[in-house]
Amino acid sequence: MLRRLCALITLASVLGATTVWAAQLSRPQIEYSADSTIQSEEGTIQQHVYVTPTKERKEMLTGEGDGGIQIFRYDTKVMWILMPSEKMYMENSMITGKSKGTDTSQWTYEDTVMGEEMLNGMKTTKYKTIATSTDGKKYGGFSWRTKEGISIKQDLLYKEGNDKKRMLTELKNVMIGRQDPALFEIPEGFMKFDMAGMMSGAMGRPDMSGMPPPSTRKSGTRPQIVTPQETPPVQETEPPADDKSDIEKAGGMLKKLFGQ
């Protein structure tokens, strides 16, 4: 369980860091699925994507079901990260907080038509693209899009101050057709992962004394703080490592990660 919790946090950071890079320059006008590849200095990410004009699902799973799923709801401005193996999910706004970069309204785009090309079996128009965010970040390069607005390929250079990074995204095996609406919803039985509660425990704040185990706590409920009864003072001892709960272990790990 501890390994899964840490993996979920790591996955949120990794996937969130690629959101602006991999975002469509404009929403497509049709529904489709495809195999997606994202290449950067950090490595290569392979995903399977399901897309509609207002919704998007990105799956990055292993054969054992480990990994994660991103669901972008452009209609409601919310993004979910799901961990199917643990039936858990995280939720972020696409406008505020760490997910601000997912809001395409924060960017302006300039496209110059360079010509038409056949790419991965699709007829595309090649564009020279320059994008600028409201806080001064920039990226530019080339993009290949179909007449329906599907971004088949993007070869972009990102610049922030003196920092420059390159990213290549590409779609293959594009299948145009209606996508199941259930793909863009949180599956039944998934529990919301309370990042704030976990951080509170990691920083030593009063928090989890009355909270049920993660496997039984219902989504949307709040932990109750239990007021201890007055008892004669006793010598506190550190419980053996094997007796610690998964939440206590995860809290200890987060203390090390954040230097507290």
pLDDT band at 41 (very low <50, low <70, confident <90, very high): confident
Check residue 135 and give its pLDDT.
Answer: 77
Angle between helix 246-258 and helix 195-202 axes, rounded to 10 deg:
70
Class (C level, CATH) for 2-184: mainly beta
Distances (CA, A) of 173 to 47, 76, 121, 170: 12, 29, 9, 10
pLDDT at 237 over 70: no
Q: How many CB atoms lie within 10 A of CB 20?
A: 21
- Percent of the chain scoring above 90 in pLDDT: 37
Question: Which range, of 84-88, 238-242, 255-259, averages the lowest pLDDT?
Answer: 255-259
139 vs 126, higher pLDDT? 126
Query: CB within 8 A of 148, min separation 6: which ones?
Result: 28, 29, 30, 176
Q: Which of 146, 187, 155 is nearest to 59 (CA)?
A: 187
Rank 91-100, 212-221, 246-255 by mean pLDDT and report only the highest: 91-100
Q: Calculate the CA 132 to chain-centre distance.
A: 22
The reply to whether the predicted model has a pTM over 0.75 is no
Q: Where are the domains of the chain?
A: 2-184, 194-226+242-258
Check residue 174 and give its pLDDT.
Answer: 97
**How confident is the model over 121-150, as a mean pLDDT?**
89
